[in-house]
Structure formats: structure tokens, C-alpha cells
Amino acid sequence: MSAHNLGIPKGVRDFGPLQMIRRKTILSTIEKVFQKYAYLPLETPAMENMSTLTGKYGEEGDQLLFRILDSGDFLAGVAEADFRAGAKAMAGKIAEKGLRYDLTVPFARYVVMNQHEITFPFKRYQIQPVWRADRPQKGRYREFYQCDADVVGSDSLICEAEFIGIIHEVLAGLGVRDFTVKINNRKVLTGIAEAIGAAGRETDFCVAIDKLDKIGLEKVELELKQRGFSQDSVEKARPVLTAANGSNAEKLAFLKDFLKDSETGLKGVAELEEIFEYLRLLDIEETKIQLDSSLARGLAYYTGAILEVKAGGVQIGSIGGGGRYDNLTGVFGLPGMSGVGFSFGLDRIYDVMEALNLFPKQSEVSAKALVAHFDEESFRHGLQIISELRREGIHSEIYPDQAKIKKQLNYANKKNIPFVILVGSEEMRTGRYTVKDMSKGEQQSLSLHEIVFTLR
Amino acid sequence: MSAHNLGIPKGVRDFGPLQMIRRKTILSTIEKVFQKYAYLPLETPAMENMSTLTGKYGEEGDQLLFRILDSGDFLAGVAEADFRAGAKAMAGKIAEKGLRYDLTVPFARYVVMNQHEITFPFKRYQIQPVWRADRPQKGRYREFYQCDADVVGSDSLICEAEFIGIIHEVLAGLGVRDFTVKINNRKVLTGIAEAIGAAGRETDFCVAIDKLDKIGLEKVELELKQRGFSQDSVEKARPVLTAANGSNAEKLAFLKDFLKDSETGLKGVAELEEIFEYLRLLDIEETKIQLDSSLARGLAYYTGAILEVKAGGVQIGSIGGGGRYDNLTGVFGLPGMSGVGFSFGLDRIYDVMEALNLFPKQSEVSAKALVAHFDEESFRHGLQIISELRREGIHSEIYPDQAKIKKQLNYANKKNIPFVILVGSEEMRTGRYTVKDMSKGEQQSLSLHEIVFTLR
């Protein structure tokens, strides 16, 4: 194999040092906040049994699952008839494992398998890659990290309120100041469907109104009609579609009135009110929180609150989302467990921070200092310096090979190492080393003690 | 699906909170030391093209690769003849991607693909899971983390010496005090084969002498004969096999004499001497470092130094290993790049630390404090407390649901939360809260200010 036809599968990525340092900044910020809110870490295997994965993400999701070919003679026991039956049937015979598609289903599977050891309510966070055989396109990858936090086994709406607190702390920690947390409730959507005389049709309703931002009121109404909503329903829905402005209190008042005949709808409004009350008690400003009764986010899933975060000042989709699903583990045989979760999208946050120039300039720094040397003897002397620097906890390196000083300085430059300590015969004799500040181009003569003091 | 037939694929694992907290301790210790030595982070995708992976790990390794079934109609273009040709031929037609088997090959692939952007010598670390379709058994898994550091593009033996420094710092950081770093050099093994009149047969020689610890001298000599080594060779080899004791200096002197007619062998000895010199200059004690001229570790790979670490006081295999391979990237079309690397085995280190009781007792702590409450009103009051604690950076949580105090205390107990802050009507009135120390069973009455002070 030669260098020019080398590659990686489409839709997946390498992350070089600069990207990694930035990604780590984001991940560790998220993780620290999760920990502060007392979420416990969990990791599940990349591979799950296909029986765990299939049927959980809808038909479309099933098709996006990566399957792992059984090891050994995977054709043993596969008849020619199976082969002729086509890929779909055949896949079930030769690939019993698949790569996880998200972190929620493995979490639910874990909870059910370990239900007797777990202390409920169980608050766990999980930061791992997931895989989807999606058509790769800008911003959509086949391998990407999810950063999830979920609570299972609590009905308390404080969980929802705390997720909003977490969002605020994470984004503040990353310097993302302009963002909006949208909140809705599935019961409100159910209520709206009832109120417009289209009970049970909230899914269709949501698919149409989800495009309000993009295509405008007129086209949304047209789509509603095409989806079989009556003229009467469309007209009744209009106040909902045009109520997008106003304060949260005004929206709540509007919904309370609009949904006055829907018990479910009013329950949804009451839940939203309770969350807003908790936010006040938790001292979380309401300015960035926006009740949006058209927010749906994969409706099939959620039964209570629905959350979504978008950054301002950039045209990038949501950087996180979540909500409550009342029967998280029911599909695995443990009914009655309410779950509520939130997931940050690492790639989207990265894109936002890059677009807004929020990454610190110095984030590519690896070492604080490079020890450079003129010959074998000064190299050996330099080893003692590097050893002392590291003993003092200073990230540092010595240029490993014999090379011209220019090459060594160039190395420091390219790696953004801010200081170079030059070791030559004069330095060895006096014990004072020339320290070059690479950004300013200045140099000064310092003892090892002074160097440690300066670099720390 | 019901709870009782739920499972995960054999050979892979879930890591619950306690294991995760411990694993994270190990990983972050390793990572911090890698960073201190100025290694830069890299991540590569889980999936690589099969053409990248195959032929790199020997025939046995190829069979352990997990293959990913192509998405969509993977049977399009596959003829019945392909099906009849059997699994091996068929796999090549329906699975063009596979899961990475280690981190070295993806690293080499990355270096070649990015050779024009990389600043050499390139020092990178990579901490990610790898997958192998091995037969699962105690201590051997199908998914496990590798923690690798490699330098590519430097011939300097300071890299080897620094790895020994890294090993010392990592294990000191984890509290593993009793360990041995074994070191050898491929050229010494080549030299020995020459010296015993079996030039070029070092692989066979090593396979046999690798068992010296387990089966003893006599049986090793028998095996050498069975492998076709002459009586003369076996006798000539005896001094090597019995030279396992003595200081490193004595062993070096012995090898210098034993290998006096092998140019390659003497080169190997000189390299070992140079590394020992660097260790002295780096102020790394020699007490835990042991020259072992029978150390081989997958010989096919290494061309220079060979390193291995074992913990004392436990019967657990090596917890890390590495060495130099002169032509790391040659297989991908970039010849002449020397690489040297070291890999820590997370699972083995975990097992050692567990066996030696080295994990801190408090390592399962999630939150420092739980806010417990008696009713709706004290719950709401508690929200303000939790908000203040978190503002002060204290990891804490409030019991989310309305429940008996006993249940809330039990929750804190099971989760090892050291302090419970009780909020009742008296507490709300006076602003002094009952704080229960869960390990001592004592309680005292503190203001919020005092609580913050105590918990920080």
C-alpha cells in the first residue's frame, strides 16, 4: 500500500492534536458540570446485541445501525436460500452484534440488567462515541460523541430544571454567552391537537409546524392541509403558530386558555409552570429560556418536557437536546420507570466555538518549554534540566536528536512552545541559561531556579 | 424483550459508576504524565478500512479483526459463487471496514496521511478502546482500552529512557510502589542467535526461552531441541539462560563478552548502555530496572529496545510494554521513519490496584452532600441551598422526590455521600441546618455559610 491511496472510511474522522485539545476542553467542562450535579459515570460497550438495538429507533433508525459480521465461519448454517432472500434477511443470520446508535438505549438496557444493584433515582452521565450509517454530509458524521446525562426513577420536575442549570453552567464555562434554551411539553402538544379537533395527530402536526422558522406561516398551513388537517383545525391552530412572541408568562397564560378543555394539555402547562418555579428557586435567570409550544424533537420518544439549546450569532443547529420519557426501560421488561435526559452535541458545540472564535489562542500549547542543545555534551546536561522541570510539574521536552539550533527553534515554533531553554558550553559553565520567549523574540539569562519560577 | 434474557455480547463489559471512577483515576494519571512529557493527544476513528488493518498483525491477528457489514444492500454485486466460496472470501465482498485492533497501526496510517502537516519528531498519545475477536477468558476481553504514547521520527534513545521515566511517574502516581521494568534489545537477541550458531533463528529461540520463568531451564532446553536447535547451540545458550541474576552492569559485561563476535549484538549492548546512561542523567533510580536478555514480546515487531512492566506482589501479567520499531510507517509507503512506543494496559493496572487494595476508599464518592427535606416547602427551600452549594463549586444534590427521611438517608448511604443536610421547618425558621456526618453518625447545626466552609 502506498501513501497516496491511504484513507479512512467516509463519514469518520481523525482528530489531530489541536482539535483534540479543543475537544477535551469541551468534554471536560461538560463532565465537570455533570459531576457537580452529582451524576455518576457509566460506560457501555461499543457493541450491543442486535436484539437490544433493533426496533428502538424506528424503521429509519434500524437501517442506520452498523452491524458487525460474526467472527469465525459466519456462513456455517446459512443456506443458499438465505443468501437468495437478500441482504436484509441475510444480515440477521450473519451479524448478531451491532454498534451502539445512541447512549440512551444502552443505558436503559444497563438499568434493567442491573436494577437490583442500582440505587434509584439513578443519575448517570455517559460520554462516548456512537455510530450511525447516515449519509455523510456537512456537520453529519458516522461516528460522533454524545454527552448524555439522565435520571431514571424520579418523577420530579426538579430534574428538568437542573438540566437547564447544567446547560447554563456548561455554556458559561465555555464562554458561549448567547444561547437560547427552548422548552416545551409533550402534553401541551397533545392538548393542542385535541384543542384544534385533531386529537392524537400531534406527530403530524409537529412535523409540519417544526418548519415554521424556515418556511413561514403560510406554507406551514398549506402543509397541514396536505397532511389532512381540516380547514377548521388549521384556523384553530393559527393562534398557536403566531404566539411565538411574548414572555414565557404570556405564553403560559395563552396556553392555559387555549387548552382549557384538554386535561392533558393543562397538565402540560402545570408542569411547565412548576419548572419555571424551580428555575426561580435555583436562581437561574429566565432571560435565555423560551417556552416554544412548537418544539417537538423526535416526538415519538418524549412524554413530558422537551428541551433544546441553540447558540445565537451562528447558523448552527441545536447544540443539545433532551426531555422526559415516562417509560424508558419498559421496552426491556422493566415498566414504570420514568427517565429524563439531556445530551450535548460535542461537534456542534465545537463548530459554534470555532465560528465565534471562543477557543483560547494558547489551546494548542503542548509543552511550556523546549530544552535545545548544541552538541552531545550539552544534550546530556539538558537531560538534568528537563528532569528538574518535570519534577516541578512543568510540561516540557528536550529536543531528542542532535540538530542545528535553528531546526530546534523551528520545532518549538511549529508546536507553539512558548519558551526555549538554550544549553551551550557557556551555559553549562555558568549555570545560567539563555531562555528565549518565542512569541516576543526576547531572551534573557536565568538560573535553573529562576526558570522554574518563571515557568510555573 | 423481557429483563431476564437481556445481555451484552460475550467478552465486552459495562462499567458502572464505581469502576468508572477508578478507571478514570488511572486514565487521568496516565494522561497527565503523557502531557507532562509533551506528548500530544490524537484520536482516530473506531472504523478503519480493512485494507489498512489486514496484513499488519500476522495471520492470527487478521482472524481476530471485527468486520463491519457494509450498509445498504451489501449483497448487490455478490454472486452465488462468492457465497459458495465460503466465509473468508465472502467477508472481503460484504465488509470493507473493520474495528481497530490496536492504536499503533491507525497511528502509522495517520502519520503517513498527514506527513506534510506534522512537525517531526511527532510525540503523540492516544487513549481509546480497541477490539479483538479473541476467545474471551479471565483478563482477556474483546473490547479494552489501550493507552499508547509513541514518538515517530527520532532515532534518539532518550525516547526509550523517557518512557521508563513515564512508567515510574505513572505508577508512583497510582501508588504502585513495587514493580519491575524489564528491558532488552532486539539486536541482543539477534546477536545471541548468531553467537550460539543459529543466526536468524531468534524468533524460535525467544518463543522457547520466553517460558523460562514458567517451566524452568531443563524443559526450555528440551523445547529448543524440539525446535531444531543443535545440542551445541543449546549448550552455548546456557550461559544466557542462567545469567538472569546479577546487576545490570554485570549482565551488560556478560553480554559484551558473549556477543563479542556479533556486530549486531554489540550494537544492541551499546544501545542498552546508552539508555542506562540517560536514566542516570534523568535521575531515575536503577533499582526497579532489570536488563532481561530473554525478553522478546512479539519479536516480529521490534527492531531495537524492548520494554515490559510487571507489578510485584501479584500474579498478574505485564501492565505495559513497548519498544522501538525502525520502520513504523513503511508498510503505508513512508519508509525510514523510526518509531518507539509504550502502551499501558488499563485493565491490568486496574486488577493490580484492586488486588493490592490501592484504590482510595472514598473513590466512590459522587456528591459531597445530599440535601434532604420533609415536605414540599422544605424541598423548595432546599433548592436555594443546593444552588448556593453548587455556586461554591461543591458537588452536591437534592433528593428529587418527596420521600421519607429514612429513604433519603439510605440513598446517601448507598451512594457513599458523606454529608446530609436536613431541611425542616425549624431549619427554615432559624437558618441553621442539621448536617449529618454519615460515616461518624454525628450531627451538628450549621449556617449555610458554615456548611460551605466545612464542605470545601
CATH number for A255: 3.30.930.10
Q: pTM score > 0.90 for this model?
A: yes
**What is the mean pLDDT of the segment spanning A291-316?**
88
pLDDT at position A51 is 95
Question: How many angstroms separate the CA atoms of B217 and B235, rounded?
Answer: 12
* CB-closest option in A15, A84, A281 to B42: A15
Size of interface A-B (CB pairs under 8 A): 313
Same-domain pairing of B320 and B393: no
CB A117 within 8 A of CB A72: no
Question: How many angstroms separate the CA atoms of B293 and A328, rounded?
Answer: 58
Question: How many angstroms separate the CA atoms of A382 and B281, rounded?
Answer: 9
HSE-up (13 A, CA, CB side) for residue B162: 28
* CB-closest option in B24, B69, B156 to A400: B156
User: Cα(first)–Cα(last) distance of chain B, in Å?
Assistant: 47
**Chosen domain end from A67, A99, A131:** A99
Same-domain pairing of A338 and A216: yes
Report CA Rg, chain B.
28
Question: How many angstroms separate the CA atoms of B99 and B142, rounded?
Answer: 11
Pull the grid cell for residue A280: 426561580
From A212-216, A295-299, B163-167, B222-226, the region with the lowest mean pLDDT: A295-299
Pull the grid cell for residue B186: 532486539
Same-domain pairing of B38 and B180: yes
Min Cα–Cα distance to chain A from B84, Å: 8
Contact A46 B94 (CB under 8 A): no
From A275-279, A451-455, B53-57, B167-171, the region with the lowest mean pLDDT: B53-57
Name residue B15's amino acid: F
Name residue A136's amino acid: P
Question: How many angstroms separate the CA atoms of B300 and B275, rounded?
Answer: 22
Contact B45 A9 (CB under 8 A): yes
What would the DSSP string read from start to end of B231-281? HHHHHHHHHHHHTTSS-HHHHHHHHHHHTTT-HHHHHHHHHHHHHHHHHHH
Chain A residue at shortest CA distance from B85: A75
Pairwise pLDDT comparison (B111 vs A209), residue with the higher score:
B111
Chain B residue at shortest CA distance from A82: B83
DSSP state of A70: P
A36-80 pLDDT, tens digit per residue, is 999 999 999 999 999 999 988 888 889 999 999 999 899 988 888
Kindly report the backbone phi and psi dihedral angles of residue A144, in degrees, each rounded to the nearest multiple of 5, phi listed first. Answer: -155, 155
Residues contacting A45, CB < 8 A, separation 6+: A100, A106, B8, B9, B12, B13, B14, B143
Q: Which residues of A touch B378 (CB under 8 A)?
A: none
pLDDT at position A206 is 86
A252 — pLDDT class (breaks 50, 70, 90): very high
Answer whether residue A244 is part of any domain: yes
Pull the grid cell for residue A312: 445565537
Q: Is the dihedral of CA A247, A253, A257, A260 positive or negative?
A: positive
pLDDT at position A11 is 95
pLDDT per position in chain B (456 positions), as tens? Answer: 566 679 999 999 999 999 999 999 999 999 999 999 999 999 999 999 999 999 888 888 899 999 999 998 999 888 888 898 889 889 999 999 999 999 999 999 999 999 999 999 999 999 999 999 999 888 889 999 999 999 999 999 999 999 999 999 999 999 999 999 999 999 999 999 999 999 999 888 988 888 887 888 899 999 999 999 999 999 999 988 886 678 999 999 999 999 999 999 999 999 999 999 999 999 999 999 999 998 888 766 789 999 999 999 999 889 999 999 988 899 899 999 999 999 999 999 999 999 999 998 765 667 999 999 999 999 999 999 999 999 999 999 999 999 999 999 999 999 999 999 999 999 999 999 999 999 999 999 999 999 999 998
Q: Please report where in the chains the cell 545440542 appears, as a residue.
A: B231
pLDDT at position A4 is 61
- Whether pLDDT at A332 is above 70: yes
**What is the mean pLDDT of the segment spanning A394-420?**
95
Q: Which domain holds residue B440?
A: 365-455
pLDDT at position B364 is 60
Contact A383 B47 (CB under 8 A): no
Q: Is the dihedral of CA B363, B367, B368, B369 positive or negative?
A: negative
**Chosen domain end from B330, B355, B380:** B355
Question: How many angstroms separate the CA atoms of B321 and B299, rounded?
Answer: 12
Same-domain pairing of B257 and B377: no
Answer whether residue A9 is part of any domain: no
Min Cα–Cα distance to chain A from B332, Å: 5
Residues contacting B356, CB < 8 A, separation 6+: B176, B311, B313, B314
Question: How many angstroms separate the CA atoms of B191 and B260, rounded?
Answer: 9
Answer whether residue B371 is part of any domain: yes
Same-domain pairing of A105 and A87: no
Answer whether residue A10 is part of any domain: no
Min Cα–Cα distance to chain A from B420, Å: 14
Contact B73 A87 (CB under 8 A): yes
pLDDT at position A173 is 96
CB B65 within 8 A of CB B133: yes
Answer whether residue A321 is part of any domain: yes
Min Cα–Cα distance to chain B from A63, Å: 8
Chain B residue at shortest CA distance from A110: B14
Contact B87 A97 (CB under 8 A): no
| Mutation site for A-interface testing, chosen from B31, B43, B110, B170 by largest number of A Cβ within 10 Å | B43
* CB-closest option in B1, B42, B112 to A20: B42
Question: How many angstroms separate the CA atoms of B2 and B10, rounded?
Answer: 19
**What is the mean pLDDT of the segment spanning A383-411?**
96
| Mutation site for A-interface testing, chosen from B5, B15, B25, B69 by largest number of A Cβ within 10 Å | B69
Contact B114 A397 (CB under 8 A): no
Pull the grid cell for residue A187: 402534553
Min Cα–Cα distance to chain B from A123, Å: 10
**Chosen domain end from B337, B355, B373:** B355
CB B433 within 8 A of CB B427: yes
Q: Which residues of A touch B124 (CB under 8 A)?
A: 17
Pull the grid cell for residue A138: 456537512
A123-182 pLDDT, tens digit per residue, is 999 999 999 999 988 888 999 999 999 999 999 999 999 999 999 999 999 999 999 999
Q: Which residues of B touch A36 (CB under 8 A)?
A: 390, 393-396
Answer whether residue B440 is part of any domain: yes
Distances (CA, A) of A160 to A166, A200, A251: 10, 25, 19
Question: How many angstroms separate the CA atoms of B101 and B94, rounded?
Answer: 19
Question: How many angstroms separate the CA atoms of A242 and A264, rounded?
Answer: 22
Min Cα–Cα distance to chain B from A360, Å: 17
Distances (CA, A) of A98 to A54, A66, A131, B62, B133: 9, 5, 10, 20, 14
Q: What is the dihedral of CA A146, A151, A157, A159, to 10 degrees?
A: -60
A74-87 pLDDT, tens digit per residue, is 998 888 888 988 89
Same-domain pairing of A23 and A64: no
Same-domain pairing of B90 and B73: yes
Helix ranges (DSSP H) in A178-247: 186-195, 202-209, 212-226, 231-242
Question: How many angstroms separate the CA atoms of A139 and A348, rounded?
Answer: 8
Chain A residue at shortest CA distance from B369: A38
> What number of other Cβ atoms are within 10 A of residue A214's Cβ?
8
> What number of other Cβ atoms are within 10 A of residue A115's Cβ?
18
Name residue B20's amino acid: M
Closest CA to B41 of B50, B56, B28, B24: B28
Contact A383 B7 (CB under 8 A): no
Same-domain pairing of B237 and B377: no
CB B371 within 8 A of CB B390: no
* CB-closest option in A8, A35, A331 to B48: A8
Check: complex ipTM more than 0.90: yes
Residues contacting B254, CB < 8 A, separation 6+: B239, B243, B246
CATH of the domain at B450: 3.40.50.800
pLDDT at position B102 is 95
- Reduced to 3 DSSP states, what percent helix, strand and coil does chain B have, rounded to the nearest 5? 45, 20, 35
Min Cα–Cα distance to chain A from B315, Å: 27
Query: Could you give the strand order of the β-sheet that contains A369-373, starting from the edge strand earlier in sequence?
Result: A396-398, A369-373, A419-423, A432-437, A443-447
Answer whether residue A151 is part of any domain: yes
Same-domain pairing of A137 and A193: yes
Chain A residue at shortest CA distance from B28: A28
B153-212 pLDDT, tens digit per residue, is 999 999 999 999 999 999 999 999 999 999 999 999 999 999 999 999 988 898 888 888
Question: How many angstroms separate the CA atoms of B26 and B21, rounded?
Answer: 9
Same-domain pairing of B374 and B385: yes
A5 — pLDDT class (breaks 50, 70, 90): confident
Q: Which residues of B touch A90 (CB under 8 A)?
A: 75
Distances (CA, A) of B158 to A281, A310, A408, B89, B148: 59, 49, 16, 46, 17
Same-domain pairing of B196 and B332: yes
Answer whether residue A70 is part of any domain: yes
Question: How many angstroms separate the CA atoms of A169 and A161, rounded?
Answer: 13
Question: How many angstroms separate the CA atoms of B349 and A161, rounded?
Answer: 40
Question: How many angstroms separate the CA atoms of B158 and B282, rounded?
Answer: 10
Question: How many angstroms separate the CA atoms of B45 and A136, rounded?
Answer: 15
Chain B residue at shortest CA distance from A91: B69
Question: How many angstroms separate the CA atoms of A334 and A373, rounded?
Answer: 66
Give chain A's domain count.
Answer: 3
CB A48 within 8 A of CB A97: yes
CB B144 within 8 A of CB B134: no
Same-domain pairing of A58 and A135: no
